[in-house]
């Protein structure tokens, strides 16, 4: 067996969270290994604005997340490519008259957030990681095993035969984390029985830099604003619905699909003129009982997954990254081993409560709006109308969602 290459920190997964963590730790005297199953390269992003040029997977980045990416030297490239700030949000119930409006002017902010294509974030972070001299990249490289022995660095074996040893192993390898499974972290999880359909659509009227969300009996539907060109307007859709409905919707040809979507959104943006190919992914809530063990930490989707109805998944993950990096660097400045359990436990304490609170809120919203009993429908519609008349409460909700309070 090959002698291991030794590092202070080894990160498994070079997606958004893993690459962001590597960038956040870089430049501070730490040796970092970054392992990614797929080739990590900076690809050319599509030029021009057209229906088929958009990534079907987008993220709604909060100002706090954008600030983190800016501190990592990635936001400038993202903003120079294309993104769409959203300044307003309209949320309404399909089964009644309840509607609530959020506007950035109410919290004296230029935007509530930014809709950004995932590949743009990945490309910007890859540029940053590939330029760093203290990050050793193993890509493409697949994880074969990892082993944790008390008092020793964590041992990582790659399928290529290469071996690594690190004081801290970070699992940033997604919702189906192999590190989490190999090390034996327990999780609590359940299937929503829903899948989310994603696509890009062209709409007749301007989206007005507004995120539109309608709660249907079958699940929530969101239209998120994308950059427009001249008189052509585009949105990204995230349409969550019960499993048994998804295949029929995916089987629709473009024109019938556009008609169904137009009815589902009540024609708020006029006609749905065209749609890109549609994709669907399953929705499952998952939360690790513990985020850390001696020498090992879980971040982002490896630690928790959440319903996409509020677009908070990537933002929670990036805040995991920010807090873990802060604790590791503070410990490093005091000569503390990054894998020390006391250090990692501070990361867990700072993140676990906030993540659980957001997960509970999203699960509660989802369950509240899927029930069609008349008393519940009346209650939620009255609640939405009442909330819309309480500016101080709305401001607090917006600040929290934006990561500002």
State the number of CA atoms in the 13 A half-sphere of 57 facing the CB.
Answer: 13
DSSP, residue by residue, 209-222: TEEEEEEETTEEEE
Burial of residue 261 (CB within 10 Å: 0-12, 13-18, 19+) is buried
Burial (Cβ within 10 Å: 0-12, 13-18, ≥19) of residue 336? middle
pLDDT attached to residue 272? 98
Give domain limits for the chain: 5-368
Report the distance separating Cα 313 and Cα 63, nearest Å.
14
Give the C-alpha separation, 272 to 281, whole Å: 23
Cβ-contact 289, 186 below 8 angstroms: yes
Q: Residue 388 has what pLDDT?
A: 61
> Who wins on pLDDT, 164 or 95?
164
Residue 275 β-bridge partners: 201
* Residue 184 to residue 293: CA distance in whole angstroms: 10
Are the C-beta atoms of residues 127 and 24 closer than 8 Å to each other?
no
Using the predicted structure, report yes or no on whether residue 53 has a pLDDT greater than 60: yes
- Report the pLDDT averaged over residues 372-383: 53
**Is 63 a residue whose pLDDT tops 50?**
yes
Q: Please say if the pLDDT value at position 253 is more than 80.
A: yes
Residue 161, exposed/middle/buried by CB under 10 A (0-12, 13-18, 19+)? exposed
What percentage of the chain reaches a pLDDT higher than 70?
Answer: 88
In this predicted model, which residue has the larger pLDDT, 400 or 327?
327
By the 8 A CB rule, do 83 and 226 touch? no
Whole-number pLDDT of residue 193? 86
| pLDDT higher than 90, residue 95 | no
pLDDT confidence band for 382 (50 / 70 / 90) = low
Residue 244 burial (CB count, 10 A)? 10
> Is 13 or 376 the better-scoring residue by pLDDT?
13
Q: In a 3-state reduction of DSSP, which class is residue 148?
A: coil
pLDDT, tens digit, 9 for 90 and up, residues 308-343: 766 688 999 999 999 999 999 999 999 999 999 999
Which pLDDT belongs to residue 378?
A: 47
CATH number for the domain whose boundaries are 5-368: 3.50.50.60
- If you write DSSP's letter for every residue of 86-138 in order, what string do you get? E-EEEEEESSSS-EEEEEGGGGT-S-SEEEEEHHHHHHHHHHHHHT-TTEEEE
- 189 torsion bin: left (phi>0), alpha (psi -120 to 50), beta (else): beta
């Amino acid at each position: 067996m090959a002698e291991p290459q030794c590092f202070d920190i080894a990160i498994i997964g070079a997606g958004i969270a893993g690459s962001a963590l590597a960038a956040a730790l870089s430049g501070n005297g730490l040796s970092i290994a970054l392992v990614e199953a797929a080739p990590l390269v900076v690809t050319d992003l599509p030029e021009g604005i057209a229906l088929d040029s958009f990534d079907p997977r987008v993220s709604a980045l909060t100002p706090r997340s954008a600030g983190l990416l800016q501190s990592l030297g990635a936001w400038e490239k993202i903003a120079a490519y294309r993104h769409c700030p959203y300044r307003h949000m309209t949320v309404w119930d399909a089964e009644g008259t309840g509607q609530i409006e959020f506007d950035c002017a109410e919290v004296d902010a230029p935007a509530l957030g930014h809709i950004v294509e995932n590949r743009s974030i990945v490309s910007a972070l890859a540029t940053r990681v590939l330029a760093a001299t203290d990050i050793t990249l193993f890509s493409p490289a697949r994880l074969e095993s990892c082993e944790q022995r008390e008092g020793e660095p964590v041992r990582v074996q790659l399928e290529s035969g290469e071996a690594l040893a690190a004081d801290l192993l970070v699992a940033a390898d997604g919702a189906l984390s192999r590190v989490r499974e190999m090390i034996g972290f327990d999780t609590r999880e359940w299937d929503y029985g829903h899948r989310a359909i994603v696509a890009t659509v062209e709409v007749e009227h301007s989206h007005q830099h507004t995120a539109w969300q309608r709660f249907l009996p079958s699940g929530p539907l969101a239209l998120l604003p994308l950059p427009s060109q001249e008189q052509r307007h585009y949105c990204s859709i995230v349409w969550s619905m019960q499993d048994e409905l998804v295949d029929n919707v995916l089987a629709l040809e473009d024109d019938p699909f556009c008609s169904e979507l137009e009815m589902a959104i009540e024609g708020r943006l006029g006609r749905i003129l065209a749609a890109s190919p549609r994709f669907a992914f399953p929705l499952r809530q998952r939360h690790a009982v513990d985020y850390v063990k001696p020498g090992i930490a879980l971040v982002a989707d490896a630690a928790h997954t959440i319903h996409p109805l509020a677009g908070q998944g990537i933002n929670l993950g990036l805040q995991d990254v920010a807090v873990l990096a802060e604790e590791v660097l503070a410990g490093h400045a005091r000569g503390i081993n990054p894998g020390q359990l006391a250090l990692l436990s501070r990361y867990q304490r700072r993140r676990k409560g906030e993540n659980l609170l957001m997960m509970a809120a999203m699960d509660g919203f989802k369950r509240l709006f899927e029930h069609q009993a008349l008393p519940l429908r009346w209650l939620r519609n009255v609640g939405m109308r009442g909330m819309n008349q309480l500016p101080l409460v709305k401001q607090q909700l917006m600040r929290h969602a934006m990561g500002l309070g």
